[in-house]
Structure formats: structure tokens, C-alpha cells
Structure 1
Amino acid sequence: MQSTHISHLLLLPLLLLLLLYLGESRGDVNRLLLDQLNQVGLVNLLEQATRPSVPQDLSNYDFIVIGAGAAGSSLAARLSENPQWRVALIEAGGVENIAHITPVLAGYLQQTSSNWGYKSVPQKLSCHGMINNECALPRGKVLGGTSSINYMIYNRGNRRDFDGWAAAGNPGWSYEEVLPYFLRSERAQLQGLENSPYHNHSGPLSVEYVRFRSQLVDAFVEASVESGLPRTDYNGESQFGVSYVQATTLNGRRHSAYSAYIKPVRDLRSNLQVFTFARVTRILIDEATKSAYGVEFHYKNRPYTFKARKEVILSAGAFNSPQILMLSGIGPEDNLKAIGVPLIQALPVGKRMFDHMCHFGPTFVTNTTGQTTFTSRISPADVISYLLAGNPSTVLSSIGGVEALAFLKTLRSDLPKDWPDIELIMVTGSLASDEGTALKLGANFKDEIYDRMYRELAQAQQDHFTLLVMQFHPKSVGRLWLRDRNPLSWPMIDPKYFVAEEDVEYLLDGIKASLRIIEMPAMQRIGARLLKRQVPGCEGHEFASDDYWRCSIRTLSYTLHHQVATCRMGPESDPTTVVNHQLKVHGMRRLRVVDTSVIPVPPTAHTNAAAFMIGEKAADLIRSEWS
């Protein structure tokens, strides 16, 4: 009863905070908020709830986990189940707030300190619609990592992905062997799939269909079926087909790695210590034995050292894990020599990077009214229904407007028929949805893109939707390296999108597939038609011609945060790999990498679900060794 009472007391300040965030409140809200907090005695309560552990220099732990994203949080939680093991979880960012847990606000989070804010080096063949041709590369800097700022899409991948990992020299990573770890993490609440063997209902991570649905998504799903795509559970027997989106939400609220794994246990386990705003600068390594024995990090502008009795585990993500390895002397000899870092172990860290590039569009207008997600349409009544009544069906539970996914094959594909090439992401909105205040800025789009293509839609509040076209298996290979040995500098990131011309052609095929779906009767009943706004820079091509779309693909290039392979998994005999099938760094002792940087090739998936799986599997690998 006491915890329920406290949760109800929190609702008023949460409501006021969200109203303030949405610009619906008045100038006295700050005073009123503080008055209410003090009146119900919550100031100290909130401080206690969010106060981080204060590090003690030279502390000893059995395991030190660097990074509290999906893999790091799940791994730290599982390791700390053993009360005899002391576990430190170190995170560079802070704690989630109400904006993080409100799915419709996902686009705004990329403008906050919860995003590392990385950008690529200027691209020659892509991102022409971005300022300085720099692609935005958002990554989470907060307890929960990217799972706290992403669009919450839950998509595990294709069985052939994992069978390919195993066949490439990674025993234990076939589909049949990793499926139990997907299931272990999942608490599915998916209507119609209650008896599916592909879903579990007792894990930490909530997965549910987004309860808010527009008329537009119903028409899209129906039209996709009319075009020949079956209805499917894309996390089940077959990916091929169309489905309403499955999301990592709980009753319409974001369910991040922190919310699912760490928050429920951090106050119950004295052997688990969580450190926020702690920036790891390097791993401590005994050069004679090549054994990791601790970490150095900065906390409140002071250096600290933690010692590890058993292992140091990097779960800092596809950019930060390779950066920390290189700062510690593990990486390409030429790069480390150039920046003056003594070489301990020569490995191709960051030499290979894959990403899913997609095309932001095409966009379609409709004859409907009130169906598109515009943040300016959110009313106090929506907020009250969502927060006070706990209604998971309001627009606030929309995961940034994403409502459905379609998986399909192209004619040029030489992959087996059950292995999709393209994903269509149906979004009930566009850059117009937030009137240029969030998604445009987060993606680094130029003003002229918004002004010429989307401003009129925003001003008229005209119903429309966008089909983002994403390629699953790109041939283009990028890389990551360090410009200097300053641990607080950004790594240099060059995705080299569209270096392989074939990648553009796959996206062109995906655009044509989306146009065919729009011709179906269900779409025609709502008057769906292509938005005829010329993409800036593509005026020299006939609108909607193949060359026009190729130009648009290179201009409206958009990454979905799926970078992999910077610490690639594979046998030591493979010169492109960094870790083995047990995720141990080649040639090193007591050092592993546990995050999506180990994924060897681009999966047929968004990478968030796989990150949870990797954390769960790594926990078993580590427990089996140290128990």
C-alpha cells in the first residue's frame, strides 16, 4: 500500500512536468511544482531515488561492467544475482526522466544530454540533405543506453542471421542456441500470440503491441496484405510479411534496459553498485600477462580507479567500446602509433563497421483528418488520461509515430525466400510532425529540406504518413578510428554509406514496393497519394523517376542507430575479428566485449533486441567459467 501511495503522489508533479515540456502550462508552473513536491514530502524521496553511488577510489569488484545499455544492464543484473559477486556498473550519463518514458517524445531525446551527439565525417555519397553532409549518429548516454532514447522497436532478426554467425566460426550462436536468451529477457503481452513458442511471458523486458493506432496504419496493413504480403509475427516463425509494430513498452510507457533490469533490483542488492556520470578513460592492463585488472574513469572532474578481481567487461556500444579498447592499447597498430598510445595487442578494432542506412520517405498525404501524429495536437486531456488514468491507448504511447513494419524481398535478391532484404517502417508523420523542433534537428537535416518539403504540411496540419525504406544487408563497409589520445574526444566515424552502388538500388526497389502498396484499394479509400514536393538538390531529375529517387536516397539518408561489427566476433584465425565466440578479446585475459559491436554482419533486425540477448548469453558464459 505504501508504494502505491507514493506512486500516486508522484503523478501530480509528473503531470506538471509533462505539461511544461509540451508548452501547455503557464509561468507559475515551476513554483507550483516545487510547492507540490515539498507539500507531499517528495523532494528528499526523489533525491534518494536518483542519487548515484559515490565511487571510492581503488575499490575492488569481481566484475566491472562499462556501459549501462541493453547489454550492460542485463549482464550486470544477471551477474549480481550471485550474492557472492560484487558488480560495478559504470555509466557516462545520468538517469531517465519523464520525457524518456513517454514514447511520443522519442524524437526530442536526441536534442538532450542523453545523446552522445555523434556525427559522421562528411559523406561524399550520402547525407547530402544534412548540414555539412554529416550524418547524425545518435547513441544513448544515460542509464538504459540507447534503449532509453530509441524508438523502442522490438525486432530480433532472422534465424539465418544467427545460423550464419555459427557457421562463420562462432559455436553457440545459432538460432536455436540464441532463441532461449531472447525468450529469457522477454515478458510478452501480445494479443493473439499468448500460446506462441516464440514468446515468453515472465522475463524482465516488456514487449507489447503499441496500443495507440491510427486509421492510417489499419489501411497500410490491409493494403500490404492486398499487395501479397501475409500477416506475420516477425519475431516468430517467419519474418516475411506485415505486422503492427512490437515495442519495448509497458502499459504504453517506454521500458528501457534500466527500467527492466536495474531499477527493480538496485536497492535490493548491496553487491550491485551503479555509478552515473562516470566516464571511463581506459582499461588497466598488465602488459606482461595481457590481463585486464581494472579501469580508470572520471567522476566530477576527478580521476578514479576500480580494480577487478575477475573480469572487465566492455558494454559501451558500437562506438565507445572500440574507443576505450584503443585508448587502452588494443587496436590497429597504425592508428595507435599515430596518436601515441603504446600498443599492447594489435587487433582490427574499428576497422570494420556496418550500418543500416534508410531513405526518409516517401511521404504520402491522405484525405483523412486528425490521424497524423502532431505533437502540437497533444492536449492536457491526453496527458491526464495517460498519466493519471494510466490509459495506454493515448497518442502519448505512440513510439514516435511508428505503427507498423513490413518485411519484403526485392527481385534482385539472391537470398533465400524467407530472408527479407527490405523493411518498410510505417510512420504516421514526418519532419512536419514536430514542426521542425525535434526530428529535423536530431537527424541534422538542413533547413531547406524542412522548409521546402514539410513546412506546409505542418502549417496546414494535413494528415500524412511516411514509409521509411531500410536495407537489411548493405555491402558498404565503414570504419572508426581515434584522432588523438584524449579520452574525452569523439572517435572519428566514417560509415561510407553507398560506397557500394548496389545499396542504392536495393533502396530504390524498396521505394517502388512502397509505391505499389499505395496503389492498393485500402490506400485508395483514404485518398493516399505521393507528396509532390521536389527534394532540394534533385530538381534536375524528373519527379519520381528512378534517377530522382536515387538522388533522393543520397539526400534523405537516415540511419536508425544499428551500427555493428566494430569489435567483430569470430575465430582468431579471421584477421577481421576482435573477440571470439565467448566474447573474449583475442590475445587478452579477463577482458570481454558484450554489446552490439560484436555482431559480425548486419542483422535482419533493429539491434536493440539482439543487445538484450547478447547480455543474457554473456551472463551464462561468464557464470559457467567462474562458477
Structure 2
Amino acid sequence: MAAHLPTISPMQSTQISHLLHQLLSLLPLLLVLFPAGAQGDANRRLLDQISQVGFVNVIDQATRPNVPKDQTNYDFIVVGAGAAGSSLAARLSENPQWKVALIEAGGVENIAHFVPTLAGYLQQTASNWGYKSVPQKLSCHGMHNNECALPRGKVLGGTSAINYMIYNRGNRRDFDGWAAAGNPGWSYEEVLPYFLRSENAQLQGLEHSPYHNHSGPLNVEYVRFRSQMVDAFVAASVESGLPRTDYNGESQYGVSYVQATTLNGRRHSAYSAYLKPVRDFRSNLHIFTFSRVTRVLIDEATNSAYGVEFHYGKKAFTFKARKEVILSAGAFNSPQLLMLSGIGPEDNLKAIGIPIVKVLPVGKKLYDHMCHFGPTFVTNTTGQTTFTSTITVAEVVSFLLAGNPSTRLSSIGGVEALAFLKTQRSNLPKDWPDIELIMVGGSLASDEGTGLKLGANFKQEIYDRMYRDLAQAQQDHFTLLVMQFHPQSVGRLWLRDRNPLSWPKLDPKYFVAEEDVEFLLDGIKASLRIIEMPAMQRIGARLLRRTVPGCEGHEFASDDYWRCSIRTLSYTLHHQVATCRMGPESDPTSVVNHQLKVHGMRRLRVVDTSIIPVPPTAHTNAAAFMIGEKAADMIRSEWN
């Protein structure tokens, strides 16, 4: 292995030195990638040489936090720096006359966040709130204590800094349905410009598509690293009858290589896209990290929000808002903050002794997309599955220093392609898919049980009996995650006590509606049909015959076996919605109106995916950017 670093110019040294500083500070994490033995020893020797290069340590201005001053006044206070909060704060601060505070409970991204293949590890870090559901009776049987892991980002960038970077906006019928339900301004034709405003598309073959923009802050590109297995999957999907499609274009129905929120193969989070480029040039934008908001301050005589209380460095602070308080804390934390402030269900607030300001059904609805983690297929290929232990330091150097976007490190947690399907039981129009197949070039075996298994709360038995042999043999394989878009099961979120630092209780009630299991079963059968196509047979694709623990009583691959597997290998993809549901005030299930103002309150809005009324045909991160962009226009229109 060559031990020489790529030649760099003086102009590159500042950026590179910071990358190396962060890389070296995270050696314990990155050494997970390096196996023991001769190869591992060679990798470590190269790391030692890198550490002796002697670049000047240049600290990123973003790592120097603002220190709050109690009783400071702002025009707008935005709580939460996820996709919606970051885009909203960036847009509002474009007006130099407006003073904007953005308050985030977590810290700043580091080098691990920028490496897409490490996505599975991030869920074990402080960048994840670490939420788990209450024990589920009908799902997550393969998880410890039947508790489903519910990752949410706790870092600048929010969940966009820890997710799998899939960019999927949704179906035009989703948004038309929102508008038809009493939310003017939210039809597809009306929200598309906000998707476009946020997007900087670098998608080969779609340069002239009217559905993509090339000048927004958020980079969207095809993942450059592709295995032979994904080429076979796309070809086989076409052979099975699916068209090739741009699922963010005219029609979702079909198959496509995945579009990702990455920039030259690196994660492009909400912070990187919207805030980092401007924060040092806008004296009116103040970003506060490690600051935990505990409640909204409300003048009960006028039902007006006038500020927030928060904790920073073990001290309590208050900020005042001259114009608005805006909650962008996500589908769990925004409803939690409303309830802590006296806005929520009467039964819950009374039970824990919070004085009621406004009775609203906050948290009464909680929808999520549930996946089945599988099926998994082995192939006759060699060296196509990314095992993190086989990644070399030379690849790390190529990725970090040479900016190579085609290494295995640019794979977004292994996701390579998406297929959008209809099931026979569906009563929806043909161009409104029910099921998504997510083609992943690996499984729980890819990181030898050190990353995704832990982050997803899978039991050790699941890994040992199904995946350990694949890891030890480094057998090429891939997994098709099956996700249902339109579940009927609905859960709930509520407060366990009035302590603002306690977790809310989260009960998604997956599979309470039996039909949801049947849709996933149909999706599994569709994936098995694709595997029978000639393109898949040419690489020897075949079902991994490892019985799911707990499903031994059923004939392998029978319908009842798969139903058992669905309830065992349950897996969520961060798509929780509706906890602060948008709708007209006449809708007893809604919390905010079409302008995202909390019903019956003044100067208080919710701007994040908690306002989405029903599960969309989407991964919700793209919609969060759109919501932030649209809210910025609504707020500017009102206050200008």
C-alpha cells in the first residue's frame, strides 16, 4: 500500500488541516473500520504518518459557540436547527433588520457526520436523542424489550446530520390531499417551488428537467459509488415491469438509483447547506448550541408567545421575542414543548399538573412508516458488498484529501436504489405507490454488528443467527428493505411528567391495523419476484435461508413466516409525522392552521414535519426543507 499523501496546494491547507484535526480526534470511532492483523497494522502505520504531517490546526468558526445573555431580545426565536429550523433561520436572517436566534440542544457536526457510509454508527452517538418507543405488542419483537429505536437528530442540522441522506419529496397527490383537507397553499403546484428553491441538483440526465433546480443551498446528487448488485437490481426491476423513473419528477412509480443529500460524496446536512456558509457574515443571526429549551413563555391574557426559557451550561436563561416564537424541534420535541407550555390534551396536562393555557390534540396522532428489514439475498459476486472492516486508510485519505466522491465511503449507509410499487390490494391510483423497496448493498453484517445493530436496538440473537456467518465469510449480499407508505396504524405521544428534561412517552402502535402487515407482505413477495428476473439470476442472487429467531414454528418463506418476520425485524426510518397536525380550526384533530400558527394562539408557530397531516409517499427530510422555505415566505409576508 502506498504511504504517500496526495500533493496539496497552500490554498487547500486550511480546509484540509481542519479535516485532519477532526479525523485524528475521532480515531477510536474510525479504527472500528480497520481490522486486526497485517492489514490493520498497515493501516495504523499510515495513520501514524498522517498524524506527523504537521498541518496547522485551524479551528472552524462554527465550533466556537455563542454564549447566551439572559433577557436578550430577538425578533424571531427558532427552536431546533434541523432541516426546517435551519432553512427557516437562514431565510429570516436574510433581512438584516431582523435579529434571529436559533437554539439547538445538540452540538456541531464532526468528520464522522460527513462520511456517508458511517450513517449506521451515528445513531449510537450524542448526535441522536436516543429515543425508544414504549414496548410494542405487535412489532419490534427482534428488539430489546420490544422497544423500537426512534432516532432523531440532536445536533446542528438535526436528523439531516444522522440520517441515510435519501432525497424523496413525495407524491403530488400527497400535497393535493393536504390542500383539499382545508389547508390552502399546500397543493403540489404551490409547494413545488419551495422544493426547487432549496435544491441544487447535480443529477446526470436531468439537467433540463423542470422538476429540478440547480441554484439552491442543498446539494442533491446520485450516489457515485455503485456496486454490480445495484445495476442488476435496477435492470431486474425493469424486467419485472417497472419503468425507470425520476421519483422526484413527473411520476414516482418505477425504479431509480437513489438521489441523496450529498455534495461530492459527502453528507450535505441542513447546517452545512444553509447555516455554515452564512453564519460568520450575518451579525443578526445568533446560533446557540447545547441549549435545551424547556418551555415557551406565554402571556395568558392575550394567548401570545413572547419568549422561551432554556438551559445552557447548568444555568437557566430567558430570551424574549418581539415578533414570533417558532418551534422547529421535530415530531417529538415540538409537541413536547407545546405541552410543557400548557398547550395540549386536557387529560395529559391535568394528570401531571401543568396549568392549561389552550386545549389542543397535541401528540394525539403519531404516524410513522414501518419497514421490514429484509429479505436479504446472497450473490455470486465478489467484493461488491461494503464491509466497513475492509475499508482501508488509503480510501479514507482519498475520500478526505483528494475529494474522491466514488469511494465506498460515499455510499449512504449502503443504500443504492429505490423502487416504488403498487400492490393488488391497493385502491389508490396507479401513480400513487404503496410500497418502496430500498436496495441496500449489505445488512447488519456489513459492520460486523458494531453499528446498525446497536443503533436499531436489534437483539444479539438476531445478528448471531442470521448475519454473523455473512460477516465472517465476507459473503457478497444485499438487502431489500420493504417500507409501507400509507399505514393505517396510528400511535400517540404524551408527557410522563412535568420535568422538561424527561423524554416524552412514544407509542407508535405499529401494526395495530392488521392490514399494514399485509401490505408489507405484498412488498416482500414483489421483491422475491424481482429476484427471479434474468438480471438477478446472472449474479446468482438467492434468498438467504436463515430463519428469523422466533419464527421457527412457520414453514420458511411461507406467508405466515413472513408475517412473523415483519413483526420481528421491524425497522423505522425517522419518518414520524402528525403530532402537531395541520388543519383548519374546525378539524378537531389539528393543532396548527395552514399558516402553521397554533390554533387560538398568537405569535406562535410550528415549522417542522410534525405538521404533516398524514404519512406522505416520501422520506420526510426533503419535505422538512420545503416546510422551512414555505414558512419563511409566510412569515416575511406577514411581518413585512
Please indicate the TM-score interval, normalised by the length of the shorter structure.
over 0.9
Matches within 5 A, 1:387-406: 387-406=400-419
Question: For residue 334 of structure 2, what is the aligned residue in structure 1?
Answer: 321
Which residue of 2 is the match for residue 289 of structure 1?
302
- Say whether the 8 Å CA contact 1:15–1:383 is kept in structure 2: no
* 2:457 alignment counterpart: 444
Worse-superposed segment, 3-12 or 361-370: 3-12
Cα contact 2:165–2:412 (8 A) shared by 1 = yes
Q: Structure 1 residue aligned with 2:155, among 142, 148, 165? A: 142
Q: Secondary structure at the match of 2:489?
A: coil
Structure 2 partner of 1:168? 181
Paired position in structure 2 for 1:126: 139
* Contact kept in structure 2, 1:117 and 1:138, CA below 8 Å: yes
1:352-363 equivalent positions in 2, closer than 5 A: 352-363=365-376
Shift in Å at residue 16 of structure 1? 4.0
Deviation per CA, 1:290-334: give whole Å up to 9, x if none: 000000000001000000000000000000000000000000011
The partner residue of 2:30 within 22, 30, 34 is: 22
Asked whether 1:344 is paired with 2:357, we answer yes
2:514 & 2:294 partners in 1: Cα distance?
38
* Residues 1:7 and 2:15 aligned together: yes
Whether the 8 Å contact between 2:76 and 2:99 is mirrored in structure 1 is: yes
Change (3 A) 1:174 1:49: closer
Aligned with 2:247 (options 226, 234, 237): 234
Measure the CA separation in 2 of the matches of 1:280 and 1:13: 31
* TM-score (structure 1 length as normaliser): 0.97
Q: Secondary structure at the match of 1:391?
A: coil
1:16 touches 1:29 (CA, 8 Å); kept in 2?
no
1:73-112 equivalent positions in 2, closer than 5 A: 73-112=86-125
Structure 1 residue 122, shift from structure 2 partner? 0.2
What is aligned with 2:260? 247
C-alpha distance in 2 between matches for 1:14 and 1:584: 41
Paired residue for 2:597?
A: 584
Tell me how far 1:373 sits from its aligned partner.
1.3
The CA distance in 1 between the partners of 2:220 and 2:271, in whole Å, is 15
Tell me, yes or no, if the aligned pair for 1:74 and 1:612 is still in contact at 8 Å.
Answer: yes
Cα pair distance change 1:430/1:180, threshold 3 Å:
same
- Find the aligned partners of 2:60 and 2:376 in 1 and give their Cα distance: 45
Counterpart residue number, 2:3: none
Q: Which residue of 2 aligns with 1:617?
A: 630
Q: C-alpha displacement at 1:9, in angstroms?
A: 3.1
Contact 1:19 1:380 in 2 (8 A): no
| Alpha-carbon shift at residue 511 of structure 1 (Å) | 0.1
Tell me the SS of whatever aligns to 2:59.
helix
Across the aligned residues of Structure 1 and Structure 2, the Cα RMSD in angstroms comes to 1.6
Contact residue 74 and residue 319 of structure 2 kept, 8 A: yes
**1:15 CA drift (Å):** 5.0
Alpha carbons 1:243, 1:406 under 8 Å: kept = yes
Letter in 2 for 1:568: R
The letter for the 2-side match of 1:469 is: V
8 A contact 2:595–2:634 mirrored in 1:
yes
Partners of 1:328 and 1:244 in 2: CA distance: 44
Cα deviation code 1:555-611 (max 9, x no counterpart): 000000100000000000000000000000000000000000000000000000000
Work out whether residues 246 and 256 of structure 2, in 8 Å CA contact, stay in contact via their aligned partners in 1: yes
- Answer yes or no: is the 8 Å Cα contact 1:20–1:29 preserved in 2: no
What is the percent sequence identity of the aligned residues?
84
CA contact (8 A) 2:17 2:56 kept: no
State whether residues 47 and 393 of structure 2, in contact with CA within 8 Å, keep that contact through their aligned partners in structure 1. no
Distance 1:320 1:500 in 2: 26
- Report the CA distance between 1:28 and its aligned residue: 9.6
Query: Are 1:191 and 2:193 an aligned pair?
Result: no
Q: Which amino acid aligns with 2:15?
A: S
State the shift of 1:385 in Å: 1.3
Q: Distance in 2 between matches of 1:391 and 1:368?
A: 24
Q: Find the aligned partners of 2:22 and 2:473 in 1 and give their Cα distance.
A: 31
In 2, Cα distance between the equivalents of 1:490 and 1:29?
Answer: 44
- In structure 2, relative to structure 1, the CA distance for the partners of 1:433 and 1:64 (3 Å cut) is same
Q: What amino acid maps onto 1:580 in structure 2?
A: N
Supply the AA of the counterpart residue of 1:440: K
Of 46-55 and 549-558, more deviation after overlay is shown by 46-55
Q: What SS does structure 1 have at the residue aligned with 2:619?
A: coil
CA distance in 2, matches of 1:204, 1:18: 28
Structure 1 counterpart SS, 2:183: coil
| Code of the aligned partner of 2:140 | C
Cα distance in 2 for partners of 1:234, 1:48 equals 38
CA distance in 2, matches of 1:92, 1:3: 34
Instruction: Give unpaired runs (5+ residues) of structure 2.
Output: 1-8, 35-39
Counterpart residue number, 1:257 = 270
Counterpart in 2 of 1:499?
A: 512
Corresponding position of 1:484: 497
Equivalent residue in structure 1 for 2:324, among 292, 311, 315: 311
- Is 1:419 the counterpart of 2:432 in the alignment? yes
SS in 1 for 2:279: coil
2:370/2:483 contact within 8 Å kept: yes
Q: Distance in 2 between matches of 1:453 and 1:144?
A: 35
How many angstroms does 1:34 deviate by?
7.9
SS at match of 1:119: coil
1:150, CA displacement in angstroms? 0.1
> Which amino acid is 1:505 matched to?
E
Quote how far apart the aligned CAs of 1:387 are. Answer: 1.2
Q: Which residue of 2 aligns with 1:529?
A: 542
Instruction: Report the CA distance shift for 1:3/1:20 in structure 2 as closer, same or farther (over 3 A).
Output: farther
* In structure 2, distance between residues paired with 1:388 and 1:517: 39
Contact 2:577 2:609 in 1 (8 A): yes
1:427 Cα shift?
0.1
The residue number in structure 2 matching 1:299 is 312
Whether 2:531 is the aligned partner of 1:518: answer yes
| Residue identity matched to 2:558 | S
Match of 1:276 in 2: 289
Aligned counterparts of 1:152 and 1:47: Cα–Cα separation in 2: 24
Structure-2 residue corresponding to 1:456: 469
Q: 1:577 to 1:49 in 2, by over 3 A?
A: closer
Structure 2 counterpart of 1:8, which letter?
I
Q: Secondary structure at the match of 1:384?
A: helix
Judge conservation of contact 1:15–1:384 (CA < 8 Å) in 2: no
Cα distance change, pair 147–41 in 1 and its aligned pair in 2 (3 A): same
TM-score (norm 2): 0.95
Distance 1:53 1:499, change over 3 A: same
Per-residue deviation at 1:381? 1.5
Residue 252 (structure 1) shift: 0.2
Q: SS state of the match for residue 123, structure 2?
A: helix
- Stretches of structure 1 that go unaligned for 5 or more consecutive residues are none
Corresponding position: 1:51 with 2:64: yes
Paired residues of 1:239 and 1:407 also in contact (CA < 8 A) = yes
Are the equivalent residues in 2 in contact too, given 1:318–1:567 (CA < 8 A)? yes
Give matches, 1:210-221, under 5 Å. Answer: 210-221=223-234
Distance 1:216 1:615 in 2: 37
Q: 1:49 to 1:617 in 2, by over 3 A?
A: closer
SS of 1:136's partner is coil
